Amino acid sequence: MFYEEAKPQGFSQTFLDFLDRFDATICVITDSPHPTIPTFSPQDPHLIQAIITWLQRTILEI
C-alpha cells in the first residue's frame, strides 16, 4: 500500500504503471483513479473497512 505525503501532489503515471507490473496485491490511496490498480479515496469515511473488504475478496479469489 502506498500513500502520498501530507500535502498531496498525486502519483505520477510512470510510478503507477510501474506498480501495475508487480504480480502482487497492490492498491493505492488517492483521489485519482487508475484503470488497472484498485484505488481508494482518502476521503472515504469507511476507508479501512473498504480496503479490508477488498483484501478479503482478492485473497479469496487466489
Beta-carbon contacts of 16 under 8 Å, excluding residues fewer than 6 positions away, are 28, 34, 37
* pTM higher than 0.85: no
The 10s digit of each residue's pLDDT in 8-45 is 677 888 888 888 898 888 998 888 888 999 999 999 99
60 pLDDT band, cuts 50/70/90, is confident
Q: How many residues appear in the chain? A: 62
Using alpha carbons, list the distances in angstroms from residue 1 to 43, 45, 60.
Answer: 16, 18, 19
Q: What is the dihedral of CA 20, 24, 30, 31, to 10 degrees?
A: 60
